Chain A
Amino acid sequence: RKEVEQDPGPFNVPEGATVAFNCTYSNSASQSFFWYRQDCRKEPKLLMSVYSSGNEDGRFTAQLNRASQYISLLIRDSKLSDSATYLCVVNSGYALNFGKGTSLLVTP
């Protein structure tokens, strides 16, 4: 079983829609969690850290469920510019593990 698993998608949604991605991790001792965004042929860019109490940044909300070992990312009011691959990152303390990414395409 991989350390971090994501649904690769693609998720095709119309502009203005709400979309959610989940990511599961296998190591219950994992300590920190992040969502990154990666555009085609570009490097990953930090979107947001994920805190135990959940956190929000504009249209983006991240949640952590330690009991079920998953994190989620919710995007409200999707924009065309949100089209990208979203990578889940889990730090288990001794290793940094990236998911394969979930592809999002927002259409007009």
Chain B
Amino acid sequence: EAGVVQSPRYKIIEKKQPVAFWCNPISGHNTLYWYLQNLGQGPELLIRYENEEAVDDSQLPKDRFSAERLKGVDSTLKIQPAELGDSAVYLCASSLGTGEAQYFGPGTRLLVL
């Protein structure tokens, strides 16, 4: 069974540029999560989807970050404009439902110069 797929794996951009990350969850997983992970820290939840509905986006900086999961499968996370402090690993995870074990994609490593 295919795992969570993310692209790109690496991205280097200059500050103030836009960037987008894509995630394809495990087939049949209704819940999708986007996390941010800084070095030496645990993942921090940005947004959680139940199917196509964002049910928890309290930690998403909405002035520059946006996300969508239009058909309840793939999801895109966008940053516009990017800031130096956005450099981190962006992880996507999916699970059968909230509270179930989550499975992570390989992440997108973002460097903002």
What 1/0 flags go to A85-108 for Cβ under 8 Å of B?
001010101111111110000000
The answer, among A8, A42, A46, for a CB contact under 8 Å with B101, is A46
Q: Which residues of A contact B14 (CB under 8 A)?
A: none
A31 within 8 A of B: yes
Q: Do B99 and A32 touch (CB < 8 A)? A: yes
A44 within 8 A of B: yes
B107 within 8 A of A: yes
The answer, among B40, B56, B91, B106, for a CB contact under 8 Å with A100, is B40
Q: Which residues of B contact A49 (CB under 8 A)?
A: 101
- For residue B98, which residue of chain A has the nearest CB? A91
B53 within 8 A of A: no
Q: Do B101 and A98 touch (CB < 8 A)? A: no
Q: Do A100 and B42 touch (CB < 8 A)? A: yes
Q: Which of B43-51, B65-73, B76-84 contacts A (4 or more CB under 8 A)?
A: B43-51
Give the contact-size bracket for chain A: 20 to 34
Q: Do B42 and A96 touch (CB < 8 A)? A: no
Q: Which residues of B contact A99 (CB under 8 A)?
A: 42
The answer, among B102, B103, B104, for a CB contact under 8 Å with A96, is B102
Q: Which residues of B contact A34 (CB under 8 A)?
A: 101-102
A93 to B55 Cα, complex, angstroms: 12
A100 to B56 Cα, complex, angstroms: 21
B25 within 8 A of A: no
Q: Do A43 and B42 touch (CB < 8 A)? A: no
A32 to B95 Cα, complex, angstroms: 13
Apart from A44-B104, A91-B98, A93-B99, list 9 A-B contacts with CB within 8 A. A4-B42, A32-B100, A34-B102, A45-B104, A46-B103, A91-B99, A94-B56, A96-B33, A98-B44
26 examples of A-B residue contacts, CB within 8 angstroms: A31-B99, A32-B99, A32-B100, A34-B101, A43-B91, A43-B104, A43-B105, A43-B106, A43-B107, A44-B91, A44-B104, A46-B101, A46-B102, A87-B42, A91-B98, A93-B99, A95-B45, A96-B33, A96-B45, A96-B48, A96-B102, A97-B45, A98-B42, A99-B42, A100-B42, A101-B42
